[in-house]
Amino acid sequence: MKNSIGLLLTEVQEFLCSEVNRVFAAIVILCILVCYGQVRTEKEIKKVYNYNVKAKKELLTEINTNRDKIHFRYFNLSRSLEEINNVKIDTKNGKLEK
């Protein structure tokens, strides 16, 4: 086993003696690192996007459930405006009706 590892290291050393082979090895290693970084970045972006979509859905459902719980008749402070201008103000939708 030691002999085969030593032989492998000798072959690698001989391969890297040439400048062209060193540049080739550096380019291959750089390409592998760039691809690995890109894959990790894409996974992180997908994870964050899925988290944002999930949070947005939860927020919208919570807003809709809370909207149904609010009694808007307690917030109707515009009775005098309705009487003065002879209009109907819908406090839930914010619309004016004559």
**9 inside domain:** no
Q: What is the pLDDT of residue 17?
A: 85
**68 inside domain:** yes
**4 inside domain:** no
> In this structure, what token pair is assigned to residue 17?
């003696």
Please give the tally of structural domains in the chain. Answer: 1
The whole-model pTM stands at 0.48
Q: What is the pLDDT of residue 84?
A: 67
**5 inside domain:** no
**61 inside domain:** yes
**7 inside domain:** no
What percent of the chain clears pLDDT 90, i.e. is strictly above it?
34
Q: What is the pLDDT of residue 41?
A: 96
The answer to whether 52 and 43 have CB atoms below 8 angstroms apart is no
State the residue range of the domain holding 52.
Answer: 18-97
